[in-house]
Amino acid sequence: MKIHNEKEGLQLLKDLKASKSLINHHELVVETVERTLDRLPSSIKHLIDRNLVLIGCSLHDIGKVRKSSEESNSGKDHELAGRNLLLSLGVSPKIARYCMIHSLPEEKLYLEELLVGIADNLWKGSRDLSKELCFYQKSTALLNRKDELLFKKLDDVFEQISDENFRSYKEYLKVNRVSV
């Protein structure tokens, strides 16, 4: 099957009977990355396939449908399970890779994949500084220039989004009765 956009990604989660909280998590990560993409400096925006980022956000934790214990407990089995699930449905390997973003070495991740990993932290008001730094380094390598100002701009965007999301994450915990 072909996934054309994030709506189809979210629909696939529903079709596979994902829990409400799992669907809600994906919706919030999609919404977070949309806001992040809108605020990125235009030089970086041009390097990124926006649609691919949105699709990646809409499906990255789909493996938790099969490994539901990892919805509330930590664990990485859902990553491979998600990748294999998508491949078994005929989804392209390029999209299936998004299930592995927390396991693959950062230097092997594309800008789009790094951004999904970054948003997977920002949605709850936290930051993955290691992925953010890698995102900056890869962007400047592609732009063929080092730029301190660009670093500051990215840092500001990530900090703003993280700040804004702190409140919505508390709401998510309340609605989904997740304890931390």
Contact residues: Fe ion, CB under 5 A? 61, 120
- Closest CB to Fe ion among residues 120, 128: 120
User: In angstroms, what is the minimal distance from the CB of 75 to Fe ion?
Assistant: 13
User: In angstroms, what is the minimal distance from the CB of 120 to Fe ion?
Assistant: 4
Q: Is 41 left (phi over 0), alpha (psi -120 to 50) or beta?
A: beta
User: In angstroms, what is the minimal distance from the CB of 95 to Fe ion?
Assistant: 15
- Rounded Cα–Cα distance for residues 7 and 55 (Å): 8
DSSP 90-105: T--HHHHGGGGTTTS-
Q: Which of 60, 77, 76 is nearest to 18 (CA)?
A: 60
- Closest CB to Fe ion among residues 120, 132: 120
Residue 46: DSSP 8-state = T
- Closest CB to Fe ion among residues 79, 134: 79
Q: Supply 132's token pair.
A: 């953010």
Taking CA 131 as the corner, what is the angle to CA 72 and CA 117, rounded to the nearest 5 degrees? 40
152 Cβ neighbours under 8 A, 6+ residues apart: none
3-state secondary structure of 151: helix
- Closest CB to Fe ion among residues 61, 132: 61
User: In angstroms, what is the minimal distance from the CB of 103 to Fe ion?
Assistant: 13
- Closest CB to Fe ion among residues 74, 144: 74
User: In angstroms, what is the minimal distance from the CB of 29 to Fe ion?
Assistant: 6
